[in-house]
Amino acid sequence: MDETQKNRYTFRVFRHSSGYLVRTKRCLPDYFTLEFSNAVMSASASILSGAGNTAILKPSEVSTHTTELIVDLVNEIFDQDEVFVVSGGIEESTALLKLPFDHIYFTGSGPVGKIVMKAAAENLSSVTLELGGKSPVIVDETANLKDAAKRIVFGKFINNSQTCLAPDYILVKEEIENEFLQHIKNAIQNLFDAPDGIKEDNPHYARIITRKHVDRLTSLLQNAKEMGATEYISGTINPESKFFPPHVLTNVSWKSQLMEEEIFGPILPVLTYKDEAEIIDRVNALPKPLALYIFSNRQSTRKRILKETSSGTTCINDCVIHFAHPGMPFGGVNASGIGKSHGYYGFLAFTNEKPVLKQRKDLQQRTLFIHLTRNGQSGLPTGR
């Protein structure tokens, strides 16, 4: 609660709960439960209810085991009239979106985000949308290439690249491409303890969530290769077991399908640039990303990229870890999302500022307007 007191009047701004909220989630693999999906959903439940709201959580219909665990966790912590988890698919989601929620918080793709926003408009419900996008990584010649590769590989291939914050493609300075690629290869081998490449029996490597997404990724990969891309790192894909090993590509065409949509899978295009102007042009030619990662020890380069590009978040000399920072707001911009969440910023998103002015009995209306005008706070006529 904020309070400001003047000589003749007092007003306060109360922040109260938005009311009844719904939180929906994009698909995540069942085996990535405690590390990410449950943490997100349970934290959302805590923020929503902690701000004084009641809430409905709707996990993805394809991650059934994760949904079961979320139900158990939420029911253990909250009463069902405070936070309730709805299972099901498109039919249940559609029915929920018809309800007059005070706020809708959605994580997922841009096309579905538009559906959510249209549905929210019918009830004039406010929204927070986290929509992902093509998050670029920029690596220049001043970066520690070995360390950069290690951090990029971790951020990219955690959960087999099925996270909204995963680095989508890399822009590396032309003259250091070969050296950098070797560091990427070594980092992948070290991360998954696979000196001879990642095999299907590797116990450290995740799977793609559904066969449908395996087919989508395979199609993107094939299209890129048809347009001239070279496989620097590859492996055998098994659609039946949903095994899709890391694929690192070079000579990727900017006109390929791979560079037109969020990959959301273990395909990593590595493209080169000649100068900083080309970085700016390439990043700005695509929709604004959820995250932008800069690996550079040159302050002027970092400042220019930050100034001349737009992204939901930016991380310098690291990847993904800003998601876990309790003091930072998280969210996209335009195509990658609307609004911020996490910590204090989540509290702001899920509450409403309600100004309340208390009038003193001896204060005349004319006197109030004169006082405001003299203090430069209002241009209203003083005689009304």
Output the domain CATH number for residue 313. Answer: 3.40.309.10
Q: Is residue 286 part of a domain?
A: yes
Which of 130, 155, 174 finishes a domain? 130
Same domain, 166 and 245: yes
Q: For residue 3, what pLDDT band results from cuts at 50, 70 and 90?
A: very low
Q: For residue 44, what pLDDT band results from cuts at 50, 70 and 90?
A: low
Q: Is residue 344 part of a domain?
A: no
Same domain, 274 and 242: yes
Which of 130, 165, 192 finishes a domain? 130
Measured between alpha carbons, how far is 265 from 288 in angstroms, rounded to an integer? 19
Q: Is residue 160 part of a domain?
A: yes
Query: Tell me: the pLDDT tens digits for 171-203?
Result: 999 999 999 999 999 999 999 999 999 999 999
Measured between alpha carbons, how far is 296 from 88 in angstroms, rounded to an integer? 45
Measured between alpha carbons, how far is 158 from 200 in angstroms, rounded to an integer? 16
Which of 85, 108, 130 finishes a domain? 130
Same domain, 239 and 119: no
Query: Tell me: the pLDDT tens digits for 203-225?
Result: 999 999 999 999 999 999 999 99
Same domain, 117 and 152: no
Q: Is residue 364 part of a domain?
A: no
120's CB contacts (< 8 A; 6+ apart) are: 97, 101, 104, 126, 127
357: tokens are: 């002015």
CATH classification of the domain holding 84: 3.40.605.10
Backbone angles phi and psi of 206, in degrees to 5:
-80, 180
Same domain, 199 and 304: yes
Same domain, 150 and 273: yes
Query: Tell me: the pLDDT tens digits for 263-272?
Result: 999 999 999 9
DSSP assignment of 337-358 equals EES-BSHHHHHHHTEEEEEEEE
Domain containing 173: what range? 136-324
* Angle at 104 (CA atoms; ends 98, 106), nearest 5 degrees: 110
The number of distinct structural domains making up the chain is: 2
Measured between alpha carbons, how far is 278 from 241 in angstroms, rounded to an integer? 40
Same domain, 157 and 194: yes
Point out the residues that are catalytic: 130, 164
Measured between alpha carbons, how far is 176 from 272 in angstroms, rounded to an integer? 9
Measured between alpha carbons, how far is 294 from 152 in angstroms, rounded to an integer? 10
